[in-house]
Chain A
Amino acid sequence: MAVVRVTGRDGVERRLDATNGCALMEALRDANTGIDGTCGGMMSCGTCHVYVDADWLAKLPPKSEDEQMMLDAIGELVELEPGSRLSCQIQVSEALEGLSIRIAPPV
């Protein structure tokens, strides 16, 4: 279990318990944060976009080529930031304790 700090689209920050081994996307989706995660982790829908705080960026595994392609596509509709990630590609573990993210606008 890791406690993650999530800033919603309304600007309000909340703390969320995320289960180890799950994709962060699932925790965000199930907590009604506005993340849809429609494709379930196939990197084909772009509905789990989050902005990861700069402090945390280097601590996450790097983006795959497929994730970057989806982010590039999202960028046609929504502003990207250096911390833009697909939350379906972030696996929850103890190491994420205190991770801070913002939910990006919907595509």
Chain B
Amino acid sequence: MGAIDLKQLLESQTLERCPFPIPVGWFFIDYADTLKPGEMRNVFVFDQEWVLFRTESGKPGMADPYCPHLGAHMGHGGKVCGEHLRCPFHHWEYDTAGWCRHIPYAKLMPPQTKKGPILRTLPMVEKYGMLWAWYHPQCEPPSFELPYIPEMEDPTGYAGTRRGTWTAHTCIQEIAENGVDTAHLKFLHGAPAIPPVEATYEGPIMKLDIGRGYIVGTAYGPGLNVMRFTQQGVTATMISYSVPITREKTQMNMSFRHVDYPEGSKELAISKKLIDHMIGAAEGEESAGFESVDFIVWNHKKYRPNPLLCDGDGPVLQFRKWFKQFYPGFEPAAQG
């Protein structure tokens, strides 16, 4: 019998599944057409409830539910009044940036209301037909912008209405790590070989090339990933936009787009097959997409901060180092 390395043998007892806070970034909240001017509803993301609303002029807003005055939940009985969210309790009103703009009975507006926002709100943009919110644990303003995605934004040239939503019982970092874990593509997905991967990192952007041009992807922070799959000169695009619901639960959302090839063309058939393969099984492909194989691992694994990696594994540690920037102010608990 060999030496007993207790630290190694017992480490899993103290491991957590997702030892991370909610990361910084732009995150998908909902499709833009689900929120009309003047509407308001409660949503649960980033480990808490928020009041999502749209002003009469059409500006989206997302606010902490609890009124800074006396703590009423504005998503229960509050309403949109013009450009403001109004608390039901005393009709204090807030704009989408969290400034208190009206107190109907005060002779003097408290000076605090003139210095800055008193209600936490999230910066929002509407892009790709979706509502996006910027999350930062210290409420700092956006440090990067969402990119132009021709497949989603150009009025003509692209097609495809396929989109889906999946729930993964893990955090975004763990899901995204699969992008650099190329060995799992062979063994979990059943790819014929371990594809080569090249990853480059610049600020909040990570670029991945898997299989020498087969999958070329760009991540814009933790909340948006654009991956282009190319086969026989035909490219189809997977736009992936995940949002943390809690620290251990992620809603994965994806839209699939392709060039608007004519009906019945070979290129259209390849595009559709590529998209089938992004998600699950596809005709003529041995390997499986994420839907059929990844969840069983994501939903049950624990995060190993000190993984035992071997040659042939992908650049997992470089990926983790890059991802750390999305946890400002967070120091992981000492391990072991």
Count CB-based A-B contacts (< 8 Å): 30
Task: Verify A73–B115 contact, CB threshold 8 A.
Answer: no
Chain A hits for B115, CB < 8 A: 69
Task: Verify A77–B111 contact, CB threshold 8 A.
Answer: no
Q: Mark B109-145, 1 if CB is under 8 A from A, else 0.
A: 1111011000000000000000000000000000000
Which residues from 24 to 44 on chain A have a C-beta closer than 8 Å to any C-beta of chain B?
39, 42-44
Task: Verify B111–A45 contact, CB threshold 8 A.
Answer: no
Which residues from 81 to 132 on chain B have a C-beta closer than 8 Å to any C-beta of chain A?
107-112, 114-115
Interface of B is mostly: loop
Q: How far is the CA of A43 from the CA of B111 in the complex (A)?
A: 8
Which of B110, B111, B112, B115 has the most chain A CB atoms closer than 10 A to its own CB? B111
Question: Interface size of A by Cβ–Cβ distance < 8 Å?
Answer: 15
Chain A hits for B108, CB < 8 A: 45-46, 70, 73-74, 76-77, 107
User: What is B's interface to A at a CB cutoff of 8 Å?
Assistant: 107-112, 114-115
Which residues from 60 to 107 on chain A have a C-beta closer than 8 Å to any C-beta of chain B?
66, 69-70, 72-74, 76-77, 107
Q: How far is the CA of A73 from the CA of B115 in the complex (A)?
A: 13
Q: Which of A44, A66, A72, A107 contacts B107 (CB 8 A)?
A: A107
The closest CB in chain A to the CB of B113 belongs to A44
The closest CB in chain B to the CB of A47 belongs to B108
> Can you name 30 A-B residue pairings with CB atoms under 8 Å?
A39-B110, A42-B110, A42-B112, A43-B110, A43-B111, A43-B112, A44-B110, A44-B111, A44-B112, A45-B108, A45-B110, A46-B108, A66-B111, A66-B112, A69-B111, A69-B114, A69-B115, A70-B108, A70-B110, A70-B111, A72-B111, A73-B108, A73-B109, A73-B111, A74-B108, A76-B108, A77-B107, A77-B108, A107-B107, A107-B108
3 closest A-B pairs by CB: A44-B110, A69-B111, A73-B108
The closest CB in chain B to the CB of A72 belongs to B111
Q: How far is the CA of A42 from the CA of B111 in the complex (A)?
A: 10
The closest CB in chain B to the CB of A39 belongs to B110
Apart from A69-B111, A77-B108, what 6 extra A-B contacts exist at CB < 8 Å?
A: A44-B110, A44-B111, A45-B108, A73-B109, A77-B107, A107-B108
Chain B hits for A66, CB < 8 A: 111-112
Q: How far is the CA of A66 from the CA of B111 in the complex (A)?
A: 7
Q: How far is the CA of A70 from the CA of B108 in the complex (A)?
A: 9
Q: How far is the CA of A73 from the CA of B109 in the complex (A)?
A: 8
Q: How far is the CA of A73 from the CA of B103 in the complex (A)?
A: 15
Chain B hits for A74, CB < 8 A: 108
Chain A hits for B114, CB < 8 A: 69
Chain B hits for A70, CB < 8 A: 108, 110-111
Chain B hits for A39, CB < 8 A: 110
Q: How far is the CA of A74 from the CA of B108 in the complex (A)?
A: 7
Q: How far is the CA of A82 from the CA of B150 in the complex (A)?
A: 64
Q: How far is the CA of A46 from the CA of B112 in the complex (A)?
A: 12
Chain A hits for B109, CB < 8 A: 73
Chain A hits for B112, CB < 8 A: 42-44, 66
Chain B hits for A44, CB < 8 A: 110-112
Which residues from 1 to 56 on chain A have a C-beta closer than 8 Å to any C-beta of chain B?
39, 42-46
Q: How far is the CA of A43 from the CA of B108 in the complex (A)?
A: 11
Measured CB to CB, the closest approach of chain B to A32, in angstroms, equals 22
Measured CB to CB, the closest approach of chain B to A65, in angstroms, equals 9
Chain A hits for B107, CB < 8 A: 77, 107
Measured CB to CB, the closest approach of chain B to A86, in angstroms, equals 11
The closest CB in chain B to the CB of A106 belongs to B107
